Structure 1
Amino acid sequence: MANQTREKQLQDLKELKKPSVLIVGGGINGIGLYRDLVLQGVDVLLVERNDFCSGASAALSRMIHGGLRYLEQGDFKLVRESLEERNALLRNAPHYVFPLATTIPIFDYSSGILNGLLQFLRLTDRPGKRGALVIKLGLSLYDFFTRTRRETPIHRFHNKKETFRQWPDFHPEVKCSATYYDVWVTYPERLGLEMIMDADQTNTGAAAINYVSVANTKDGTVTLKDQITGEELPVQPTIVVNATGAWINLTNDALQGDDINPVSKMVGGTKGSHLIIRNDDLLKATGGQMVYYENQDGRICILFPYFGNVLVGSTDIKIDDPTDVRCEEDERDYILQSLAFVFPDITIKQEEILYTFSGVRPLIHSDASVTGGISRDHVCRTLPETPGRPFPVLCMIGGKWTTFRAFGAQVTDQILGTLNKSRQCSTFDVAIGGGKGFAKDKGAFDSWINDLARNSGLGETRLRTLAMRYGTATEDLIRFMQQGEDHLLASDPSYSQRELLHIIEQEQVVTLEDILLRRTAMGISGNLSSDLVDEVLQILAQARGWSTLQIETARSEFLNRLASFHAVTFSTPSRQCTNA
């Protein structure tokens, strides 16, 4: 069976020889821009040299946060925008985005006042300890910024007695704590994919394709290359947008054409690494909340329950080459040491680290001596037309996962002005994918599940699992599953064969990694096993008509990447995690 969706997108690409806009980069910023432009009726092409949301957009802390610590740097505009966008995602993607109570253990009352003032005045970029007074001020501003359209409760403080009643495993020197609400996301890669699928249903004059790269630029023609077949695909865009994140500098070089003048460095990346840990004591110690804490060096770290395990991170290390980053041993040690600082009586064994992941934050190039002092804001810089490149290149630099929609809207408005077009709609309140019509009220949700159970014959537990994976798109999935014989996977009965076949057919799955690490949470949930890899591979291979050699190659490549970039091998059996 062919990859129908990707084949159709490639055909659309071939017909779209002169798109108004070519977006290079299929991370969350490029996808957000693509959706916005499509909704404005612009003919636009998006290409991604790997899979959608496979770089930094897959390596976030799984948080959609307002950026509490950015208040120290005086980035009030960024914090306000982040909170507005965070709350918009709660409304627009309620199947993937949820409020999360977040508690800060506080070690004293007055630390951080002087350092916070110096940071605010840009007289230092070094982090320092934050006492209760500084945290109270920050959380009060947090609440103030969301006062007109509040989606989460306001913050509250706990004295020492109350703190240790709820979190008895905190370091004994903790004096008090504060709890506020931020937001977490279950399936960020799927959220990005759903925006592409929404856009493709709206406008036939657009296409978004993975595994297509920029080969070269000459005489106004950008030659694209299908990474799967090797086919070259020429296009002549009016405007090019470089949304390749940490690869912006390299992509600009590829887009220069015959112009030999070098492009100044725009991005300075920092690497962030995370661990997925399976330790029952640590999971219990979180109290079902995120713990937002300072390491001894003043850097903020977080941990929270994620698919039955605990996600912990992150590091923040300057890096020049964004290619093939992974969580190194010293980063793993740093994260474990930070855990030991806040939970000194909990010991993490190496075998309890189920999965690691890393990404490079595409931050605005900065000479700051401390990575925490580099702005997380976003900016669009334009490279004007040149004789060798007769189209402008708009470079989307920086930004947080949280603010992708606002960043996309900013660049869309700039493009619409260049094309002499008017905005037709705002994306601020546009629901995403399975979030359309999703019942946020428990009673309405339960009623919907009961209706699905009566009409489909599937059990309530199975339906609730599907609903939290796909939202209201579950209804289309059920119809597909009922069109043929379906069986639960032997190695993970929370998935079924036709459920995965639907993903393969409809979601531009090319590699085994696409489905195991991005279309599903099998990897990050710690649910992978050798048997599961083989079972999913057989479904994919049958759908694609792969030969025995292709199957063995796909398996070998995936297992090598899994070991190299996520520290996962199958020397010990995995425990099933049925809620992923």
Structure 2
Amino acid sequence: MAEPITYDLLIVGGGINGAGIARDAAGRGLSVLLVEQDDLASHTSSASTKLIHGGLRYLEYGEFRLVREALIERERLWRMAPHIIWPLRFVLPQTQSPRPAWIVRLGLFLYDHLGGREELPGTNTIELRETVYGNGLKDAKGKAFVYSDCWVEDSRMVVLNARDAAEHGAAIRTRTTLIDARRDGAGWTATIEGERGRETVRARALVNAAGPWVADVIGRTGANRSERGVRLVKGSHLVVPKLYDGDHAFMLQNPDRRIVFALPYEGKYTLIGTTDEPWEGAPAKAQISESETDYLLDTANRYFTHALTRADVAWSYAGIRPLYDDQAGSASAVTRDYVLDLDAGEGRAPMLSIFGGKITTYRKLAEHALAELSPFFAQAGAAWTAGATLPGGDMDDFERFLAHLTQDHPDVAPALLRRLARAYGTRVSRILDGGLGEDLGGGLTSAEVDYLVAQEWARTAEDVLYRRSKLGLHVPDGTEARLTAYLSAG
């Protein structure tokens, strides 16, 4: 029997934190194996509100360190991936605000200045009736504040980090489960099971980035040791027909002081979310509850002229956020900051467990994770990701890039070309140059699917239609069946 392969790092979890750590570590010259029990970003990391933001509401809870770090990362990530991240203006009406206007304006002043904002426009105070920002609102009078954050295609952010990790030498194994792991001298011996069957691998360090399953993975190591706790909080979202005209978003304040976002989504929809509902029991695939649906519909109906009912819901999704348990009284008040728990000692192979975190701070979290692990790897290189673009992100300006692409491909429909450019950036030529091939429905072509299988670990119709893209909201009936048949034939 062949000796097990030995890696520097075995990373458990293919969400944004696991993929980000894999990218950072592989770029420093460490050998990395990442295992994910399902598809990349198949749980929490594809169920976000799709924002790169500092977290304005976190200022109420005194989370100044987290907000500052997130605000600094906001523009840095935009520069790293301008194809999947772009600026968005947020309208914060004061017409139904439970907070005095001066408190909100003070928070926005801090938000503008705490993180060294460079390119994003600052906050403006407006009268709703005098601008397009009042479009669609029931009460289009009174004062509102307009501030900046960024949008992100969250599941694509995960995949691009995994892609970059692989191109730096990391092995990415989806649909592969960690069965168990035991310390064996100065390293770990682990059993994994996936498409290749059951295997034994060895690693010098174990990184537990399993998100909601972080405590479960600790149990599978036999360690059962951590002073840190995880608190599971479900966040759910609705997708409904477009509620207003414009490319701006709304931050809506509710009487219970919680906030809900309404965001332009996929051209003809509005995304509404999120909720904060405690999750009891073992982590699993989450779905929106009736009470969450009612809460989000009630919020939208409080603000917008178009009255929504359950029949208007085009799609919903939910995810379980694995927050660090800071013993806060309510789910909304639980910290969104992250905690890194290093279990190591004299002669003990290290295990680093990740508690909490948010997509905006994933890159910085990865840097901190490598700082914790660096004493065990003298050969590791220096931090490098701060100025490095993600795959497809090497462009100065997206619209200028798209204009050149349109000139080069006049035979491709403009709407399709824009979608492909947004998804793949400068790597779109790898799909376009050989011809698009068969149209499987709604502009999804065999060339794109082949790329997703070969380069982005897509295996099922759901991977393609709802994580690598959101084409599931647009394609005609029959596309999913044709896609499933195409994938099976391949």
Match of 1:43 in 2: 31
Shift of 1:151: 2.1
Relative to structure 2, which stretch is displaced further, 377-386 or 348-357? 377-386
2:148 is the counterpart of 1:181: yes
1-structure distance, mates of 2:474, 2:412: 23
| Matched-pair contact (CA < 8 Å) for 1:191–1:433 | no
2-structure distance, mates of 1:151, 1:132: 26
1-structure distance, mates of 2:416, 2:212: 39
Match of 2:168 in 1: 202
Give the counterpart letter for 2:155 in structure 1: E
Relative to structure 2, which stretch is displaced further, 295-304 or 218-227? 218-227
2:47 is the counterpart of 1:59: yes
| Matched-pair contact (CA < 8 Å) for 1:296–1:341 | no
Match of 1:246 in 2: 212
- 1:312-363 superposed Cα distances (whole Å, 9 cap, x missing partner): 01110111332122101111011101111222x3211323211110011111
2-structure distance, mates of 1:146, 1:385: 36
Match of 1:283 in 2: 244
1:182 is paired with a residue whose SS is strand
| Matched-pair contact (CA < 8 Å) for 1:380–1:394 | yes
Relative to structure 2, which stretch is displaced further, 293-302 or 416-425? 416-425
Give the counterpart letter for 1:145 in structure 2: L
Distance 1:357 1:337, change over 3 A: same
Shift of 1:449: 2.9
2-structure distance, mates of 1:348, 1:24: 41
Match of 2:351 in 1: 393
The counterpart of 2:236, out of the listed 269, 273, 277, is 273
Match of 2:21 in 1: 33
2:244 is paired with a residue whose SS is helix
Match of 1:362 in 2: 322
Match of 1:130 in 2: 99
2:350 is the counterpart of 1:381: no
Shift of 1:406: 0.3
2:488 is the counterpart of 1:541: yes
Shift of 1:302: 0.3
Percent identity over the alignment is: 29
Shift of 1:172: 3.1
| Matched-pair contact (CA < 8 Å) for 2:95–2:139 | no
Match of 1:315 in 2: 275
Cα RMSD over matched residues? 2.3
Shift of 1:378: 0.9
| Matched-pair contact (CA < 8 Å) for 2:181–2:221 | yes
2-structure distance, mates of 1:435, 1:305: 23
Shift of 1:146: 4.1
Match of 2:285 in 1: 324
TM-score normalised to the size of structure 1?
Answer: 0.79
Structure with the largest fraction of strand: 2
Between structure 1 and structure 2, the one with the greater Rg is: 1
- 1:469-521 superposed Cα distances (whole Å, 9 cap, x missing partner): 21101111223436xxx1323x31x2212221221233222333222221221
1-structure distance, mates of 2:85, 2:451: 23
Match of 1:255 in 2: 221
2-structure distance, mates of 1:444, 1:91: 14
| Matched-pair contact (CA < 8 Å) for 1:481–1:499 | no
Match of 1:479 in 2: 433
1-structure distance, mates of 2:145, 2:466: 35
Match of 2:120 in 1: 152
2:406 is the counterpart of 1:449: yes
Match of 1:303 in 2: 262
1-structure distance, mates of 2:398, 2:377: 43
Where do 1:75-114 residues align within 5 Å? 75-107=63-95
2:252 is paired with a residue whose SS is strand
Match of 2:110 in 1: 141
1:276 is paired with a residue whose SS is strand
2-structure distance, mates of 1:252, 1:532: 41
2-structure distance, mates of 1:412, 1:480: 40
| Matched-pair contact (CA < 8 Å) for 1:66–1:86 | yes
| Matched-pair contact (CA < 8 Å) for 2:421–2:428 | yes
| Matched-pair contact (CA < 8 Å) for 2:180–2:192 | no
Distance 1:16 1:162, change over 3 A: farther
Shift of 1:144: 1.0
2-structure distance, mates of 1:177, 1:226: 54
| Matched-pair contact (CA < 8 Å) for 1:296–1:338 | no
2:450 is paired with a residue whose SS is helix
1-structure distance, mates of 2:346, 2:302: 55
| Matched-pair contact (CA < 8 Å) for 2:4–2:202 | no
1:136 is paired with a residue whose SS is helix
Shift of 1:179: 0.3
Match of 2:462 in 1: 513
Instruction: Give the gaps of 5 or more residues in structure 1.
Output: 1-13, 112-128, 544-580
